[in-house]
Amino acid sequence: MNSLELQVVLLWTAVTVYVAATILSLVSVVFRKPVLIKFMPILAVVGFIPHTAAIILRWVQTGHFPYWGKYEVFSSYPWALIFLYLAVVVLKRDLRLSGVVVFPVALFMVGMALTGSTEVKEIPSSFLTYWLGIHVAFAKLAFGSALIAAFFGILYLLKERVEITGKENVLTQMIKTPVTADYFSYQFTVFSLITMTIMIGSGGVWAYKAWGRYWGWDPVEIWSLVCWFIYGIILHLRTTMGWKGRRAAWLSIIAVFIVAFAFFGMPTIYETVHEHLEY
């Protein structure tokens, strides 16, 4: 079995685990079995191990951080997402609940990766710098935290409704008050803004090394700036205008779609130096 075949086997193993975790989350929500959510971190670890091995093998095979082509981009994004999930669960057990959104998204992304070309492409020399690795790593963390922030935004809205109707579901049961959901959403919004800031900064250094300019109004650059503005505005509204709770929840939900469009939609629609999704 060669390196590529082994990678695909490892990714399929991870997919299988993520499928199991997605089913588990569906069962727990639909059949009201909150106890099942406790198993999510275990499944995350079980899936994360072969996923990590596949990423390392790809890195060794290509000689660069996996950021080139659909296969590499969509296998490393869910890896970062699961990594973020495990990291936050270690820090705060209550956050294991976010697996309900993390696993289906990770599953979808690995599925996308497996539809991409696994061929090793020669990449432009401008893409061979550690700064790009830092830029890409923080982009993944920014997306992951934006996703979790939006999830807790949804949870806030659900929990708020429970306070009116009195009807709890599995998700709302696991969170004490709407304030807790709002707080978690806020924390991940902050984390997303900080990681986006580092993403843009390191991207600027990469661009300077590659093209002699730190900013070039490339469509993806502009949309990254738009995302950064949005998260900045959300936090500014929160601290200066008191936009918390319902308004902040809706903003975080809308924001994650804009981030997803900026990161995955823009490079496929526009002619851009961010040509990593062409294959």
Cα–Cα dist 177/268, whole Å: 41
CB of 117 to another protein, least distance (A): 19
CB of 13 to another protein, least distance (A): 31
Distances, alpha carbon 180 to alpha carbons 100, 150, 155, 176, 245, in Å: 17, 14, 10, 7, 10
Residue 214 or 279: the one with the smaller Cβ distance to another protein is 214
Instruction: Write the CB contacts of 222 (distance below 8 Å, at least 6 apart in sequence).
Output: none
DSSP secondary structure of 77-116: HHHHHHHHHHHHHHH-GGGGGGHHHHHHHHHHHHHHHHHS
CB of 256 to another protein, least distance (A): 16
Residue 69 or 245: the one with the smaller Cβ distance to another protein is 245
Instruction: Write the CB contacts of 193 (distance below 8 Å, at least 6 apart in sequence).
Output: 228, 231, 232, 235
CB of 266 to another protein, least distance (A): 8
Cα–Cα dist 221/36, whole Å: 41
Count Cβ atoms below 10 Å from residue 253 Cβ, excluding itself: 18
CB of 161 to another protein, least distance (A): 16
CB of 81 to another protein, least distance (A): 22
Residue 48 or 188: the one with the smaller Cβ distance to another protein is 188
Residue 82 or 249: the one with the smaller Cβ distance to another protein is 249
Residue 24 or 259: the one with the smaller Cβ distance to another protein is 259
Residue 30 or 269: the one with the smaller Cβ distance to another protein is 269
Q: Taking phi first (over 0 means left), then psi (-120 to 50 degrees means alpha), and beta for anything else, what does residue 87 get?
A: alpha
Residue 194 or 260: the one with the smaller Cβ distance to another protein is 194
Cα–Cα dist 6/53, whole Å: 9
Cα–Cα dist 47/207, whole Å: 35
List residues near another protein by CB under 8 A. Answer: 63, 122, 124-125, 128, 178-179, 182-183, 186-187, 189-190, 193-194, 197-198, 201, 204, 208-209, 212, 214-215, 217, 219, 222-223, 225-226, 229-230, 232-233, 235-241, 244-245, 248, 266, 269-271
CB of 178 to another protein, least distance (A): 7
DSSP secondary structure of 131-143: HHHHHHHHHHHHH
Q: Taking phi first (over 0 means left), then psi (-120 to 50 degrees means alpha), and beta for anything else, what does residue 211 get?
A: alpha
